[in-house]
Structure 1
């Protein structure tokens, strides 16, 4: 049973109304692991200790309301990737705009349908997984496509910049990356894993292979030269890893790129 639990997404529910909180926790516990908090400050404490995948938060709460809570986590690089659903009794357009401006992914008015809430949760989690798969499996998709907030975008741009600067260094690893990102290894691991479902070392290797795909598509360098430029001491190992990641060898990828670049014949040619 323990193995089954670890495969569930972890949802944090924040609401100062005990009845609503209990109702949401009971319903969501059938499909997810659930944490509960009665205000935003308690919610932040839980985020520090748990790898949360999605947050459902009421707006009208004491100590820290939902707007402030949402703004706080979407501005914090440690949490900015987490989807947020705001629940509120306010049904004005102004309040909805304010919620979205604070970084909320979905805004749901009370009273709400639990079926509608569940559909929104499933959609947010499924879309995140599809985006991860698309990023990992597509050679030319840039990692900035994984950003869900301004803080995420800045983090990923900086991450990509540092990895590219050290691309030729075969010894560049997560220790170096964490130092240059001014983050602890634990924080860096949690952030990269949450965004991409990869370990930092796997992420670095994927960045190397994606850079190689760009160089291969440009057709200016030989495969062994590209292998060296992206930090591989062995062309054989590079080819094996490229094939494992993208399903084609570097040579096959070059062939596909050339075929796709050929202009189509027009009628009469």
Structure 2
């Protein structure tokens, strides 16, 4: 177990400092009154942006540009109404790009799992850019809610999670024509509008063809995201690596040889919507 990971987890858990508080106020000042009110309702939202762009050379410009861009995007896609009701085509989207939520590591980061062989890029092409933005945004927001609920239960601040991708059956066909644009759009939404969300990324069961695929995908990702990625040849190797990095076998996806069956992300989103409907009725 790396002491560096313990240090990073401790920094993540740390409530915002006076210096960070000053930068959060600077960030909020760059927004419209309406945007500022919505962002200020969740202080962690602003803190994640401040921490995500802390190391930039022109910190003020990077932080203010980022929060303005994110706030404008939220207005465009109806971010604050994501869970008022089901978004059109959400069931199809999750059937074509199914994901599950698995267990937690020793610090409390949950595992998001996706299997490349289950992704239907041909069908995803039927969705418009606007639909993809809303559907992928809703999914990423559901993961934020999941982390918030964990924090309330455990009394610890954890706003990052781990992504585990099964590369079995991944092929160059997934990146041909418009399919490449679809994948690029989905990756872009997560890395651009949900900064500071990733703890680690494991790419598992890497086939030989993946070198060529990786050469295409790599430029789409932010350098900070790239630094968190580990490409691992087999599930057996991945389990050992994940165990060494604080993830118990009980939390690892069953398709890897772990013991966690996972919870459907679509089912969790449906649960959030039903809960909120219940609150509105009451």
TM-score by length of 1: 0.27
State the structure with bigger RCO (CA 8 A, min sep 6), 1 or 2. Answer: 2
Normalising by structure 2, we get a TM-score of 0.26
